Amino acid sequence: MATRQIDDLCVNTIRALAMDAVQQAGSGHPGTAMGLAPAGYALWTRVLRHNPRNPAWPDRDRFVLSAGHASILQYSLLHLTGYDLPMSELEQFRMWGSRTPGHPERGHTPGVELTTGPLGAGFAMGIGMAVAERHLAARFNRPGHEIVDHGVYGIVSDGDLMEGVASEAASLAGTLGLGRVNYIYDANSITIDGGTDQAFTEDVGRRFEAYGWHVQQVADQTDIDEIASALERAREETARPSLIIVRTTIAYGSPHKAGDASAHGAPLGAEEVALTKQALGWPLEPAFHVPGEVREEMSGAVARGAALEEDWRARFEAYEQAHPALAASWRRALARQLPEGWDADVPVFEEGAPAVATRVASGRVLNALAKRIPSIIGGSADLTESNGVQLTGETNFSGANPGGRQVRFGVREHAMGQVTNGMALHGGVRPFAATFLIFSDYMRPSIRLAALQQVPSIFVYTHDSIGLGGDGPTHQPIEHLASLRAMPGIVIFRPADGNETAEAWRIALQREGPTLFVLSRQALPVLGDVERVRAGVRRGGYVVADAESGAPELVLLATGSEVSLALDARARLQERGCRVRVVSMPSWELLDEQPAEYLAELLPIGVPRLSIEAAASLGWHRWVGDGGDIIALDRFGASASEKDIMARFGFDTEHVVARAEALLQRTRANAQ
C-alpha cells in the first residue's frame, strides 16, 4: 500500500476509535481527537522517541497531553503502537476499573507520563520536565558520553492557552530558553460555549514569539509530512521552546458536526457516527475496527523503540566504564535513593539557644541537605530570602547555565507549583518550591495534582499566621491550614521549633508523595530533648511536657508557634496547682496513621483538651472531643505588630490560662 494510503488509513482508524469509544461510553470528547488524529499520528510514529515495551526507559521523549479531554486520542495511539493497552480497555473507555479513564492518569495507564485534565496544568508540568532534563544533562553528560538527551512533546488546546498557568509557564520557559519543549497547538477555535471568537481573539503566535518561543504554522491539518517536518525543525531548535500551530477542524469528517461546538464534549450520536464513517469510507461495523495494515504499520513503533533504547543502553555502558562514579550517582538519582550520610550535616538546635523562626531553621536545614544531596533543586516565587530557600554557593538555573540549582520562578505561583510537579514527574531531581502560605491559594491546583499523582514535590510556605504582623489581612492566612488539611494524599508539617523542622525535612525527602511545610516568620524557642522531638515528629504528635506529678487533668494541643505559647500557659497553670500536658501536633496526617493505642496514650480519654492554633477552628473538634475547647481564629486578621495582634486575638498566656481554667471548671461541674 502506498505511503499516503496507509497514512490515511491509520489516521482514519484513530478517528473511528475516538467516535466508537465515546459513543459506547455515552460521554467524552470525540471531536478534538478526530481533528488531531494526523498530528498525533505524525508525532507518535515519525518523531517521538519512545519504547512501547518499556514506557519507563530513562532517555525517552516525554509526551504531555495537556488537552486531557482528548484522552481517547492518547489511548488509541498507545494501543496501536504496541503498549500494554488492549482493545478491551478502549471498549471500556471511562468505565469503572478500566485503564482508560476520562482524562489521562499517571500510574493508571502504561505510557501516560502525567495526570492532566485541568487545562493549562499539563502545559506547565511539561515545562518542569524540560527543566529537569536540561539540569540532568548538565550534571551528568560528558563530551562523547551523553546519556541525557531527550525532548518534551505535547499537545495543547485553545483552552490550555487561555488559562493563566500556561501563560506563566510559557513566559518562564521562554526566559529560561528551554529548547527541549515542543508543543503542538490544536487551534480548532472551538470551546464548550462555542467559537473562540467570543472570548479569545488574540494572535497566539505573536504572543508566544514575545515570550521568546520559536513559532511555526501548519496550515493543512492533514499534511502529515509537513507536521512531521515542523516537529523535526522544533527538535533542531535548541535555544528556544517551540510552538507548532496546527489549524484543525474539530470532528473532522463529520457531515453535520465538523467545526461545531457540539462535537467537543459529547458523543456524535449513532446516526452521525454512521454518516461520518461513510464520509471517511469506513466500514459501519464492527465498532472498534482496526485494519490489519494499520496494526502492521503502527506496531513498527515496537521495533523502533527497542532499537532506540538498545542504542542508549550501549551508550550508557560506555559511559559507566568511563565515569563509574557519575553512573552510580545517576542510578541513585533515578531511583530516588539518598546518598550515604545524606543527613549528617543537618543542624541540631540546642535547648537554651537563641529563638529562631522555623523559616530560618528550614533554610539552614535545606542548605545542609543540599550540600550532600546534589539532586535537590528549586526556588521561590520572588521571595527567596523571605522563604529561607537561598541555596548558598549555588548559581541560578538558566538556558546558559542549566547546571544551576537555584530556580528563579519569578512572581508566578501558579506555574511554579506545576513546574515543580513536572520536575518531580520527570525523575532524577528532588524539587522544591516556596512562597508565603497565603499564596498557596494560587497553588491549590498544583498541590492537588501532586497529591493525585503522588509525586514527591516539596512546597515550602512561610509567614504562616497573623504572627507575620503588619502586612495585614491580605497577607495573613486564616483558613489555609484547614483547607489544605482537607486534601487527601499530602502530608503537612507546621513545626514548633528548629528540631521539629529538621525532622520534617528528613521525612519529606524519604516520602513518595507531596509534602508541605508551614513555617513561621517570628522566632520560636527550642523545645528541648532532640531525640524525643525527632521521634515525636515521625508520629505526627507527641508529649512536649507532661504533668509534673500524677496523671494530667488537662491537655493543651498546639502546632507551630502556639506550642511555645502552650508551654508558657502550662507553667502558669502548674503554679496554680493544675496538672497539664502539652502535646505538639506538627502533622495531623502522620498522627492519623498512628495506632489507637498510641492515640489513647497521648490523649487520655476523659481528660479535657484545649487546642491552640492561630488559624481557622475547622477540624480541631475531632481532636478536642465533645467536652473540649478551641482557641482559634475564625475571622480575618488586621494590620498591627506581631505582639499586639497575637494578644488582641487571644493568643497570649493570659487568655490561654483563662480559657483553660474555665474548661476545667466546666469539666468538674459536669462530673458532679
- Catalytically active residues, by annotation: 413
Pairing label, strands 356-357, 242-246: unpaired
CA atoms within 13 A on the CB side of 513: 16
The span from the CA of 277 to the CA of 261, in Å, is 20
Pairing label, strands 580-584, 542-545: antiparallel
Compute, in degrees rounded to 10, the torsion defined by CA atoms 190, 192, 196, 200. -130
What are 434's three cell numbers? 516556596
Taking the chain, what is the end-to-end CA distance rounded to the nearest angstrom?
94
For residue 568, which amino acid is it? D
Q: Which residue has the cell 524519604?
A: 510
- For residue 232, CA distances in Å to 42, 45, 127, 337, 401 come to 11, 13, 19, 36, 25
What are 42's three cell numbers? 505524525
Q: Could you tell me which of 662, 646, 611, 661 has the C-alpha nearest to residue 632?
A: 611
User: What are φ and ψ of residue 460, in 5° steps?
Assistant: -105, 120
- For residue 39, CA distances in Å to 229, 305, 561 come to 11, 19, 55
Pairing label, strands 523-524, 356-357: antiparallel
User: What are φ and ψ of residue 612, in 5° steps?
Assistant: -135, 115
* Cα Rg, the chain, nearest whole Å: 28
- How big is the chain, counted in residues? 672
CA atoms within 13 A on the CB side of 422: 31
Longest dimension (CA), the chain: 94
- For residue 335, CA distances in Å to 402, 428, 459, 616 come to 22, 7, 21, 39
The span from the CA of 609 to the CA of 591, in Å, is 16
Phi-psi region of 590 (alpha: psi -120 to 50; beta: other; left: phi over 0): alpha
229, containing H or E segment = helix 224-236
SS3 state at 543: strand
Q: Could you tell me which of 665, 644, 642, 306 has the C-alpha nearest to residue 476?
A: 642
Task: Find out whether the peptide bond into 525 is cis, omega within 30 degrees of 0.
Answer: no
Q: Could you tell me which of 223, 273, 230, 219 has the C-alpha nearest to residue 251?
A: 273
Q: List, in sequence order, every residue forming a beta bridge with 215; answer none if it has no partner.
A: 243
Compute, in degrees rounded to 10, the torsion defined by CA atoms 245, 250, 254, 258. -100
